[in-house]
Chains A and B, each alone.
Chain A
């Protein structure tokens, strides 16, 4: 198990490293970052001063190394627009996104796993068709449209939930549903097919042949197996949500990292964009690592390899 962990950890570090290069290059590779940051209507002198302050006149590899060294010390640079340290700005915006992401994935899991299990237990019945229909329909509606629909139904017509801002926990309900539902079809489908296979498996047959009660067979012996790939999928979906929170946060006016990213992109606030790209990528890499570790816990066969 330890060797397996070490190998995965090494891979994760490598991935984050390469991703940091990509993130850095993306942001720096076009036009003149100094001019972009200084904004329109800035005098050449202003642009020059920006260039000096941020070191844009240095060769790119050198800039990259400087950036990496600073990141290791926890310094993500300075937001040009907000005139504060990027680290501080991120720390201010992160809690909202993390809350949103957590609630969204919880919603998705609570909806899709029971649905998938039920669909597998009663194949070709109404429940099954409903579940599959939900999956197919859910995948076709883009998140921004779904968000607007939710706002219309619950915020405008029924007026039961707030539709913007982040004052109380109720402010997170609609955004969490809007963000989470997109993961639901994939998780439900995988749970359903995994359960269908597991219920046909030999060891479930053994459990039944030895008179174990149905619920025990389903949960202890079938579900545990079906969950093995689902855990990875959930981690991956959470990673997608972190990236996809931009849309939801803008629609619901939640001042999270996604919202910050969008604004920074519009304002060419380079240091912020870079930092966000790196952090989201790192979060995704760590999430997949966590998923693999969890897999190793659930399925003892993996630990040996």
Chain B
């Protein structure tokens, strides 16, 4: 109550869980709205693509190669985005590329997240020699050039989707490990962990029931960062020819295949390039918004 100033008095509000508060903040965040909409559209296109546009992205029609998109003079609605150098419908390939990139992205993040969080939590909770060993492991991972290693492995084991997912997943866990390690270290000394230890809770119980739920905030932030990395890495690998292999489509692959058309048909590069940039941008915006929403919690 403040009689002395003209400020309005505090109305007591019902208690809210930190998760609910963060979520509300998130939904109000400008970046989240923009990024969320773009991301939502791309995911929708990827998932609903085959129903909305049922053309086969792999069927070639050599009689109608390099047809221009519908907005140029000779374009038709038969192939709104034209066809590529093998006569395959560009829109269909674009939609399949969305599916492929997103699938690889999410699964890689899942894999690297599990690996990285496991290592990070172990290092942060147990400390000592385990911490030293895991830190060393992270240093080794950071010293290896990611693109090169991925190229070597794919060259040897082939470019099937599972291989790609495993390779990228095994290369992008370092940030998960580092962040969960420091978050775990901070949490491990907090009272609720110490009291769980004092009453004799088993280690798995402490880790999964007490610790992990508190790591979700930073985990989600790192996941968005690594999702963007995974998408970019896959695009780069596919661009170099050692990623997604035809007849499958990927945006990076589409750009590579269209590289020679830069001079006369630049739209063939712009069409897969734009949604690629939009996707990564959307992921980054959403990630920034999540970081703000989660961090503001601590400050409040």
| A residues in contact (CB < 8 Å) with B | 11, 14-16, 18-19, 22-23, 26-27, 29-31, 36, 136-137, 139-145, 148, 151-152, 156, 239-240, 242-244, 246-247, 250-251, 261-262, 265-266, 268, 273, 276-277, 280-281, 284-285
Contact = CB atoms under 8 A, between A and B. Distances in A.
Nearest to B153: A26
Contacts of B127: none
Given A136-B288, A140-B281, 13 more contacts: A18-B140, A22-B140, A26-B153, A30-B157, A140-B277, A142-B252, A144-B252, A145-B255, A156-B262, A242-B145, A243-B148, A265-B242, A284-B143
Given A136-B284, A136-B285, A148-B269, A243 B146 contact: yes
Contacts of B149: 26, 277
Given A136-B281, A277-B152, A144 B239 contact: yes
Question: Interface majority SS on B: helix, strand, loop or mixed?
Answer: helix
B285 to A, nearest CB: 7
B228 A139 contact: yes
B145 A265 contact: no
Nearest to B256: A144
A188 to B, nearest CB: 15
13 contacts: A26-B153, A142-B276, A142-B277, A144-B235, A144-B236, A148-B255, A148-B262, A156-B262, A251-B259, A261-B151, A266-B155, A277-B144, A284-B142
B63 interface: no
B140 A156 contact: no
Contacts of A29: 156
B266 interface: yes
B265 to A, nearest CB: 11
B140 A140 contact: no
A interface majority secondary structure: helix
Q: How large is the interface on B (under 10, 10 to 19, 20 to 34, 35 or more residues)?
A: 35 or more
Interface in B126-151: 136, 139-140, 142-149, 151
B212 interface: no
Contact of A139 (B252, B262, B276, B284): B284
B280 interface: yes
B36 interface: no
B232 interface: yes
A284 B142 CA distance: 9
B277 A284 contact: no
Contacts of B273: 145, 148
Contact of A152 (B146, B235, B262, B288): B262
Contact of B240 (A14, A136, A246): A246
Nearest to A280: B145
Contacts of A251: 259
A241 to B, nearest CB: 10
A276 B284 contact: no
A143 B140 contact: no
B266 to A, nearest CB: 6
A262 B147 CA distance: 10
A208 to B, nearest CB: 26
A278 B284 CA distance: 33
A145 B140 contact: no
A281 B259 CA distance: 30
B276 A145 contact: yes
A178 B147 CA distance: 17
B263 interface: yes
A140 B284 contact: yes
B280 A139 contact: yes
